[in-house]
Amino acid sequence: MNDHELSKLLATQAGELLMGLRKVASSFGDDDSDSTLVALGREVLAKEADNGAHEFLNNQLVTLRPLDSVLSEEGDHHGFRAGATRLWIVDPLDGSSHFANGSQEFAVHIALWDVNSNRQGKLVAAAVDLPAAGKVLTTSDHVGAAVLGEKLETDRPIRVLVSRSRPPEELTRIVEALKTNFPERDVEVIPMGSAGYKVAEIISGEADIYVNTGGFHEWDIAAPMAIAVHYGLVVCDRRGNELVFNKPETFVASAIVSRREFVATLVDCLA
């Protein structure tokens, strides 16, 4: 089984595990339940789901790729990865609050970083599973011409996806810059959950841009970035530079995922 197949298999299996846990815990959302109990139950559900998916993925990778290192949100963030030549960057459950609240906007992220790769970010394989949406995106997908970062002829607004909890402080400036440079189109801002879910929306043609200037971690963006690049989208930081992975500190200060025609406007606005 090659790395593309493995990332897809494990992401899908972890997604099935998460959906099974949510089904078991569905009684936490009953309308006649005490609100405090519901909130507590959802918090426990999200934590147990995170831990359960992490343990599953970590155990599988240790067994199936024993020479590789693993960086997971729920695991040891330092471990033995300093000298690693191959590193699996994993978010077992991206969008845990959305998962616990019954939303579709969560994902499983799996990406493989290889120090010897010439690919962007040195990410050589990845999968993003959207369990509740019944969709999985991988770096082995056949990519049609419609999603290769080409300009889409459409009358709909330019759709900018942002975090529900932490939208960019520069959001007003971003919207005004897009309206100025693309006066024939309106701009619509849509709060959304997981980064993987956002990238899937752009790939599907339902949105155009995802901007994060508040920062997050490598596991939040590695797999979505690899998928986005595979599908022909542009991924960079707010200054237009490539994202770098397997750093001593896992923090990523900013990221833009966009159709090609909007990138210059975004970088000029944010840099």
Amino acid at position 211, single letter: V
In angstroms, the CA 41 to CA 52 distance is 16
In angstroms, the CA 156 to CA 210 distance is 17
Provide the domain limits for residue 208: 145-270
What pLDDT digit, counting tens, does each position of 86-134 carry? Answer: 999 999 999 988 998 889 999 999 999 999 999 999 999 999 999 999 9
- Model pLDDT, residue 271: 85
Helix (H, G, I), strand (E, B) or coil at 173: helix
CATH at 257: 3.40.190.80
Same structural domain, 184 and 262: yes
- Model pLDDT, residue 41: 57
Same structural domain, 132 and 177: no
For the cut 50, the answer to whether the pLDDT of residue 37 exceeds it is no
Same structural domain, 159 and 254: yes
Same structural domain, 226 and 250: yes
How many C-alpha atoms does 265 have within 13 Å on its Cβ side? 21
Of 120, 138, 156, the one marking the end of a domain is: 138
What pLDDT digit, counting tens, does each position of 214-223 carry? Answer: 999 999 999 9
This prediction has a pTM of: 0.90
> Which residue(s) pair with 94 in the sheet?
107
What pLDDT digit, counting tens, does each position of 194-243 carry? Answer: 999 999 999 999 999 999 999 999 999 999 999 999 999 999 999 999 99
